[in-house]
Amino acid sequence: MKTRASSPPLHVHVDESTPVHVHVKKSQRTSPSKAAQVSIVIYSSGSQTGVSLKLPSVSDTGDLRLTLYQYKTCPFCSKVRAFLDYHGLPYDVVEVNPVMRKEIQFSQYRKVPILLADDGETLQLNDSSVISSAIKTYMISKDKNLKQILSYYPEMKYKDEKGKEVTEYSNKYWVMLGEQEVEEHYPSKESMK
């Protein structure tokens, strides 16, 4: 493993056959003490799969705990990771085996990303756009819990021309705010763009 003098300390658990390549960048918004809290734990033994990445918190989202089920190379998973990282939200990552998908057997939704969000009640968020929009709404809306916010993104199922069941979500590209929240966060029409 390459190390640099300016890098924060890392603690990595791997077996001998697991290649690891890690880059940790300190953001301008993260203090050195927060950047040093990054820990990476990679393990998979038999049917047991563990958290493979933990990131520190920069944003204040209360007691919201997030777990992202993903494929490392999935562009939609990358979109969710970029969103969570940009906002400094702490989350755990569980790598899903793309063939067996044992890690997401708990879900009827068979795609990734899946985000489990717990703010007192564990809820499953599907679709990268719904995840980003719902979590951003949650961050802004201080008087709504995540279950209320998810009701703004109803699931619609239908069968396509080949007879395959398709799931879509209403409002998935929108942050759902009340008028007072809009005025607080977007005081002019120009800031909404």
Asked about 74 being catalytic, the answer comes back as yes
Quick one: residue 68, left, alpha or beta (phi over 0 = left, psi -120 to 50 = alpha)? beta
Asked about 169 being catalytic, the answer comes back as no
Q: DSSP character for 26?
A: -
* 182-188 contacts, C-beta under 8 A, 24 or more apart: 185/140
Task: Give the closest residue to 122 by CA, choosing from 67, 41, 62.
Answer: 67
Are the C-beta atoms of residues 164 and 110 closer than 8 Å to each other?
no
Q: What angle do CA 107, 49, 30 make, to 5 degrees?
A: 95
Query: Which residue in 43, 69, 77, 173 is the catalytic one?
Result: 77
Query: Which residue in 71, 83, 109, 186 is the catalytic one?
Result: 71
* 101-105 contacts, C-beta under 8 A, 24 or more apart: 102/47, 102/49, 103/49, 103/69, 104/69
Q: DSSP character for 39?
A: B
Tokens describing residue 33: 């003490």
Asked about 71 being catalytic, the answer comes back as yes
Query: Which residue in 74, 83, 109, 186 is the catalytic one?
Result: 74
Positions marked active-site: 71, 74, 76-77
